[in-house]
A and B are shown apart, each in its own frame.
Chain A
Amino acid sequence: MDAAAIIDVLTALVPGAAYEPSPSVDFATLYVAPDRLVETCQALRDAPALGFNVLIEITAADYLPRQPRFEVVYHLLSIPHRSRVRLKVRAGDGDLVPTVQNVWPAAGWPEREVYDMFGIIFAGHPDLRRILTPDDWEGHPARKDYPVQIRKAVQTYEPLEITEEEFKANLERDRVRRPLAK
């Protein structure tokens, strides 16, 4: 199923939404505006002619310095029609993208990963926390302006250290030194 056919079905189901096909070498690719994303996903899943019942993954790419810099990418699979589609949403730094968890429960963790790696915020996500990096991590590693060779002090407790005198005293404390009995 090519992008034009999918757009034809979608425009009938989601009135007022503008779709923009994108050239690709593998399967249909289309852009959608963030405000019509959830309706579009519902139509993609529920329309019998489309039937995209499996969310394969959600990811993103950072195209800095282009603006808006991010593209959130949804790969969908239709098992009944043996077809795939790639849905893309453009997002700038700080823009909100709606969550699609109500359409596919599988969206929860991939959206958390995109938030963790790129800092894109998914509006309406019930549990938008970091997932792969620790909770106190600074920055979003997959951004293009995030340095590769970053050096960060490891956070540990204070090491146990004693002075040389204390060390020797500790060794000597219980050692009884007396000459062997003749």
Chain B
Amino acid sequence: MAELRTETLTVNMGPQHPSTHGVLRLVLELDGETIRSARTTIGYLHTGIEKTAEQKKWQQVIPLVERMDYLAAQSNSLAYVLGVEKLLGLEMPTRVQDIRVLLAELQRLASHLVWLGTHAMEIGAVSMLFYALRERELLMNINELIAGFRFFPSYFRVGGLREDLPRGFHDAVNAFLARFPGKLDEYEGLLTKNDMFRRRTEGVGVLTQEEAMGWGLVGPIARASGSDYDVRKYFPYLTYATYDFEVATATEGDVFARYRTRIKEMRESWKICTQAIARITPTGVHACNDTRVVPPPKDKVYTEMEALIQHFLIYSQGFTVPAGEVYVPIEGPRGEHGVYLVSDGTNRPWRVKMRPPSFMAIQALPSIIEGGMIADVIAVIGSNDVVMGDCDR
């Protein structure tokens, strides 16, 4: 009888693998179908955005940071503008804060819809992608309505919003919100009780709460392992403290628990959106009244000398920000999105650093998949919801 061969096999996965959400490279050491060890390589999408931002004026950084986590563009820019506003000591009118809450939650829904579609598609439920992208299309249309851009609206500005809400905004948002809960029930009908989906996800990629905390995975991943940490509840920003919503949690810590956490999170986001759209008036203030930062209205620019000078200064030199440093966290779709800003008192940032949740999630990936099966790698990557643009920046 021939001798059994026992050596391990090294397999390269990515960076061009369709299920690695961009350009993540894994080198897996396999014993049969079991993963003995995994090594990750990142950096294929590194574009030096943080270095570039140091050369730009404060307001010009917004479109740059939106391109980091490209599925949750407005979550990046929200963290950034909140950071700059904290350094400047600006207070926003309540209407501006409510609009920001609404758009941040719509962004969370859009990001989770892409996660749901791709995650389900990668483990076999191909039709989910089309359903999820169908609803996301409506959210993209809302972005187009407010800013003319579908992916990177750059609608949040330091000092408020770019301009007031367009006509038809309330109708578009209300139409989406009326449609969404039924569609979410449809998705759950396709997946939550689907035997094949549950066999692929239950008990797979288990992460305990201590491990999640040790790896710094604060966000939906930790909440699926029993933590209730959510920046919106622990360190309320904007007007979140006045909204009625719950933090979605689960205790199992496996892929299916992460799925249920994010589905629940979408329902809670929907609750916040319905409350927010009822509070927002169709027209009203869209910026604070600080003339250092916010350009004066056009009719004054044409009639008053001071307004013209102010307009010219803001668009040529930009505004200066008091020297200091600040770290502002927000609850992004992938976990705690933070921005660390250092100002030297000039019109350009000295240092801009985003805290990337995907970076931490990919760092923890080998410890989750080692000892599991190779087919589960795809399920775990999908459930960690990593975006390589966020990871590599």
Contact = CB atoms under 8 A, between A and B. Distances in A.
Interface of A: 23-27, 29, 53-57, 59, 61-62, 73, 75, 77, 79, 82, 84, 86, 104-106, 108-110, 113, 130-134, 141-142, 146, 148
A104 B213 CA distance: 9
B216 A131 contact: no
Interface in B288-304: none
B336 interface: yes
Interface of B: 42-43, 46, 48, 50-52, 55, 86-87, 89, 213-216, 218, 227, 229, 234-235, 324-329, 336, 338, 340, 342, 350-351, 353, 355, 359-360, 363-364, 392-393
A54 B51 CA distance: 27
Contact of A104 (B43, B216, B328): B216
A133 B86 contact: no
A151 B389 CA distance: 23
Contacts of B89: 25
A165 to B, nearest CB: 38
A132 B42 contact: yes
A106 B215 contact: yes
A84 B327 CA distance: 10
Contacts of A142: 50-51
A176 B144 CA distance: 60
Contacts of B338: 56-57, 75
30 contacts: A25-B87, A25-B89, A25-B324, A26-B86, A26-B326, A27-B327, A53-B213, A54-B213, A54-B216, A56-B216, A57-B216, A57-B340, A57-B355, A59-B353, A61-B325, A61-B342, A61-B350, A61-B351, A75-B327, A75-B355, A79-B227, A84-B327, A86-B325, A86-B327, A105-B215, A106-B216, A131-B42, A131-B43, A134-B43, A148-B52
Nearest to B342: A61
A148 B43 contact: no
Given A54-B216, A79-B227, A148-B52, A109 B327 contact: no
A106 B360 contact: yes
Looking at A55, A75, A106, the one whose CB has the most chain B CB atoms below 10 A away is A106
B216 A148 contact: no
A79 B230 CA distance: 10
A89 to B, nearest CB: 14
B352 to A, nearest CB: 10
A132 B326 CA distance: 24
Nearest to A107: B216
Given A29-B325, A82-B234, 14 more contacts: A24-B324, A24-B326, A25-B87, A26-B327, A53-B213, A56-B355, A57-B355, A73-B340, A84-B235, A106-B214, A108-B363, A113-B359, A131-B43, A132-B393
B311 to A, nearest CB: 29
Nearest to A108: B363
A58 to B, nearest CB: 10
Nearest to A82: B234
A133 B393 CA distance: 11
